Amino acid sequence: MHPNFYQERKLWRKGYAFVAGVDEVGRGAWAGPLVAGAVIFSRDTKTIHGVRDSKLLTPAAREKLFPLIVESACAWAVGVVSHHIIDRVGIIAANRQAMRLALEKLSRIPDYVLTDAFALQWKAPVVAVPDGDGRVYSIAAASVIAKVWRDRLMRKLHSRYPQYFFDKHKGYGTALHEQAIRHHGLSPLHRRSFIPSRCLPRSETSASPAKLCITKPSL
């Protein structure tokens, strides 16, 4: 089943003109920021073939869809929360902060918000839709926006720290990433609260507890 405008149409008929779909990417990464996307479509918008949960798309497909979504949306924005904030407040609070930032940056004020199964308090009504990025068109589009934005950020950060191969794994916990951490230690971009202790070189595991992450938190 492809995402569709069923949820948005129900709300449009009730008089909600600006329905925002919101989703985030980067929750499980070991390094880099959390990024949320927010997208509003008008009621006469035509669906774009191929828009779906960003996890189901290839990088090339996401890059192709990004400008099409931007062009067809009446408003879109991203919210970025750094790895420092994630370590300080935790992933759930950081997730909410990224979503609120994205909503606040929209050029149209949403009068209703749909999220991908994530509870959020906002100045307008919010409904968390189970499997939202697979069912709701605006949430799926927001997931593509967020994913492309974050991947581009990680590719830029790769140029500063090429030894970690952020352009390949985008900060997620792959074998290549683990090997780089074992060899080079942690970079300034790593989330200390996310790195499993098995990945850390001896010099890191003997450091002060404030600099270490013992286990990856449950998401």
Reading phi first (left if > 0) and then psi (alpha if -120 to 50, else beta), residue 11 is in: alpha
pLDDT band at 211 (very low <50, low <70, confident <90, very high): very low
- In this prediction, residue 59 carries a pLDDT of 97
Q: Give the Cα separation of 87 and 211 in Å (integer).
A: 10
* Percent with pLDDT over 70 in the chain: 91
- In this prediction, residue 1 carries a pLDDT of 72
Q: In this model, does residue 216 exceed pLDDT 50?
A: no
Q: 27-45: buried (b, 16+ CB within 10 Å) or exposed (e) per residue? A: eebbbbbbbbbbbbbeeeb
Q: Give the Cα separation of 29 and 154 in Å (integer).
A: 11
Q: Which two tokens stand for residue 69?
A: 């979504």
Q: Which two tokens stand for residue 34?
A: 């959390």
Q: Please, are residues 39 and 130 in contact by the beta-carbon 8 Å criterion?
A: no
Q: Please, are residues 92 and 177 in contact by the beta-carbon 8 Å criterion?
A: no
Least confident segment among 98-102, 160-164, 212-216: 212-216
Q: Give the Cα separation of 118 and 141 in Å (integer).
A: 16
Reading phi first (left if > 0) and then psi (alpha if -120 to 50, else beta), residue 52 is in: beta
Q: In this model, does residue 83 exceed pLDDT 80?
A: yes
Q: In this model, does residue 214 exceed pLDDT 80?
A: no
On average, the pLDDT of the chain sits at 92
- In this prediction, residue 204 carries a pLDDT of 58
Q: Please, are residues 115 and 49 in contact by the beta-carbon 8 Å criterion?
A: no
- In this prediction, residue 200 carries a pLDDT of 76
Spatial CA neighbour of 209 closest among 193, 191, 198 = 193
Overall average pLDDT of the 60-83 stretch: 98
- In this prediction, residue 98 carries a pLDDT of 98
Overall average pLDDT of the 108-118 stretch: 97
The single-letter code of the amino acid at 76 is W
- Tens of pLDDT, residues 138-188: 999 999 999 999 999 999 999 999 999 999 999 999 999 999 999 999 999
Q: Give the Cα separation of 87 and 109 in Å (integer).
A: 30
Overall average pLDDT of the 185-201 stretch: 90
pLDDT band at 203 (very low <50, low <70, confident <90, very high): low
